[in-house]
Structure 1
Amino acid sequence: MKAARVIVFPIKGRNWCFSRSIEQTVQESESTKPSPKFKDLYKKITSNGKPMNQNVEIITEFFSTKMNKAWAGLGEAPEGSIKNKIHGLGVKLLARVKPSEIFLKSISKDVTNVEITYPTSLNPRLVRRRLRHIAFRGSVIHRRYFYGSVSLLPLTAACAILPLPNIPFFWTLFRTYSHWRALQGSERLLVLVSDGSTTVKEQKRDSDDEDEQEHKSPDALIPQWVLHPSEDLDKYLQDLDEKDGLSKSVVSKICKAYHLDTQEVDKYRCSM
C-alpha cells in the first residue's frame, strides 16, 4: 500500500492550500535514477505480456523521465547559452501553472490511500468536501485542456521548418502530458476520497440503516482516506491575517515542517 500525505490549510481568505508532502529521501532517490534507454523500454513492452493500456503507461513514464532529465540538463547549462535561455523561458512559463494542477499530478495511480492533515480549527467534513471538489473539478478541466492540447500538436509541429528550436511544439507536448497526468490524478483522488471508500467508523456513524451495514462488502470497509487533525498546524494559523493571509515566513515554516514546495504553496494566495 502506498499512502499520499496531503496537507490542507487556509493561506489567504477563502483560498486553501492543498499540497502533497514529499519526503526529501524520495526526491533524492528520483533524481539519482539513471536515464532510461530505448532498449530497456523495448524489453519492457515486448516481454511483460501486459495489455495495451499498461504498455501505454510504461511508454508515457519512459518519455516523462526523458523529459525530466533533459529539463535538468538545460538548467545546468552555462549562463548566457541558448540552453540556459530556453530554461529561463521554461521557468517563466511553469510559474503560470496553477498549483492545483501540480497537486493533482502528484497523486499517481499506485496511491492506495490518502492521509489528510489539517488544522484542528477546520471542520473535517468541510476539508474532505473541498478535497472532493478539487478532484471533481480537476477531472473536468484537465480532460478539456488535454484534448485541446492534443489538437494543437499538429499545428505546433509545423513550426519545425523554422531554423530555431521548436519551443511551441515542446511546450504543447509538455502541457498535453501535464494535463493527462493531472486528469489521471484527479480521477484517482476522487475515487479515494469519495463516499464509497469510507472507513468502518465513518460508515457506522453516517449510515441510518443497520441492516445495510451488515451487507457491506469487506473491500468497502478498507480505509482509503484518513483525517488527521493537527494542533501543531493550527498553531501556525494564529498569525493568519484576514486580508493578507499567512506571511511568507510562516508559509516557509509550514513547508519546512511538512516537506512542501514553498513556491508552489505560495501560488495558492492568488489561486481561486
Structure 2
Amino acid sequence: MKARLVVFPIKGKIWCFSRSIDQSASAFNSANTPSTVKELWKKISSNSKPLNANAELLVDFISNKMNNAWVGLEKAPEGSFKNKLHGFGLQLLARVKPSEILLKSISKEVTNVRITYPPSLNSRLVRRRLRHIAMRGTVIHRKYFYGSVTLLPLTTALAVLPLPNIPFFWVLFRTYSHWRALQGSEKLLELVSDYSRAQNPSAEMMEASKELEELLRKGYENGSVNEKAISDICIQFKLNKIDVLKWRDLV
C-alpha cells in the first residue's frame, strides 16, 4: 500500500506533516476487521498467524466498536446527554498532537511513501525532519503506551459508580492511540531511513510540487499560511483540514 505525505511550512519555523486521505485504505481495513464477537473468535481460532497478529486483530475489533459508538454519540439529538458527551470528547481530542495523528495514519500495510513538498525546501532536510518525528515517536508513544496500560485497572474500578465510566474509555482510547502511533513511528522510520532506501529505492519517492509552492506563496501572510490557502491545499492534496490546522496552532 502506498501513502502520500504532504510537507510544507505553515507558521514561522513550524512545518505541517500530513497524510493524504486514502478512502481505499479505509475500506480495506473495514472489510478485513470482524464486526461481531463470533466473527472475531472464528478468525482468531482458525488463524495460524503469530500471537501478535491475533492481538492486532483484537485491537482492530475494539477500535471498530469504539468508532461506531463515537458515531452514535455524534448523531445524538442536540442537548441530550450523549450529545454533551460528544462535545466533551471533542474537547479531549483537540488536545491530541498532530504528530500523533500523522504516525497513527502509517499502518503496517504501508510499503512505500511519496513525500510531496514545495521546491523551496531542501529534500534532505524534509527527510531528516520526518526521521526525527518517527524516532521521537518511538520513544514518546512507547512510554505513554505503558503508562496508559497501568491506568486501565484503576479506571476499571470506577465502573461501580452509577455513571458512564468516561475515564476508562478515555484511557482505553489513549492506550490504543499510543500503540498505533508507536507502530506507525517504527514503520515510518523504516521507510525513510537511509538503509531502507539503499535496500529498496522504491520504498520512498521525493516529489517537489510547484503547485504546492504557488498555493503557499499566495496564502502566506503575517508569518503564517492563511486559512483560505490551507483550505485550497487540503482540497488539492486531499488532506484533513482539522489535522492541518493543528500544526498551525501548535505551541
TM-score (norm 2): 0.94
Q: What's the offset of the Cα at 1:197?
A: 1.3
CA contact (8 A) 2:117 2:212 kept: yes
Of 73-82 and 24-33, more deviation after overlay is shown by 24-33
Give, in whole Å, the separation in 2 of the partners of 1:141 and 1:107: 16
Paired amino acid for 1:228: E
Give, in whole Å, the separation in 1 of the partners of 2:28 and 2:139: 33
Give, in whole Å, the separation in 2 of the partners of 1:194 and 1:40: 38
Partner in structure 2 of residue 206 of structure 1: none
Partner in structure 1 of residue 89 of structure 2: 90
CA contact (8 A) 2:34 2:61 kept: no
DSSP-derived class of the 1:198 partner = helix
CA contact (8 A) 1:149 1:175 kept: yes
Question: CA offsets, 1:117-147, max 9 Å, x none?
Answer: 0001110000000010000011111111111
Give, in whole Å, the separation in 2 of the partners of 1:30 and 1:186: 19
Q: What's the offset of the Cα at 1:242?
A: 6.8
Give, in whole Å, the separation in 1 of the partners of 2:130 and 2:221: 22
Equivalent positions of 1:201-220 (< 5 A) are 220=199
Give, in whole Å, the separation in 2 of the partners of 1:91 and 1:198: 39
Partner in structure 2 of residue 185 of structure 1: 184
Paired amino acid for 2:211: D
Give, in whole Å, the separation in 2 of the partners of 1:53 and 1:105: 18
Count of residue pairs the alignment pairs up: 251
Give, in whole Å, the separation in 2 of the partners of 1:25 and 1:58: 19
Q: What's the offset of the Cα at 1:271?
A: 2.2
Q: What's the offset of the Cα at 1:3?
A: 0.6
Paired amino acid for 1:97: V
Partner in structure 2 of residue 139 of structure 1: 138
Correspondent of 2:225 among 222, 246, 269: 246
Paired amino acid for 2:38: K
Question: CA offsets, 1:29-88, max 9 Å, x none?
Answer: 878999700000011000121111111011111111111111111111111111111111
Q: What's the offset of the Cα at 1:157?
A: 1.3
Determine if the alignment matches structure 1 residue 80 to structure 2 residue 79.
yes
CA contact (8 A) 1:71 1:87 kept: yes
Q: What's the offset of the Cα at 1:244?
A: 3.4
DSSP-derived class of the 1:107 partner = coil
Correspondent of 1:226 among 197, 201, 205: 205
Give, in whole Å, the separation in 2 of the partners of 1:187 and 1:32: 25
Identity %: 59
Give, in whole Å, the separation in 2 of the partners of 1:33 and 1:40: 11
DSSP-derived class of the 1:17 partner = strand
TM-score (norm 1): 0.87
Partner in structure 2 of residue 150 of structure 1: 149
Q: CA RMSD in A?
A: 2.0
Give, in whole Å, the separation in 1 of the partners of 2:38 and 2:201: 40
Give, in whole Å, the separation in 1 of the partners of 2:161 and 2:82: 17
| C-alpha distance 221-169 of structure 1, shift in aligned 2 (>3 A) | closer
| C-alpha distance 60-34 of structure 1, shift in aligned 2 (>3 A) | closer
Give, in whole Å, the separation in 2 of the partners of 1:189 and 1:15: 20
Where in structure 1 are there 5+ consecutive unaligned residues?
200-219
Give, in whole Å, the separation in 1 of the partners of 2:39 and 2:27: 23
Which has the higher Rg, Structure 1 or Structure 2? 1
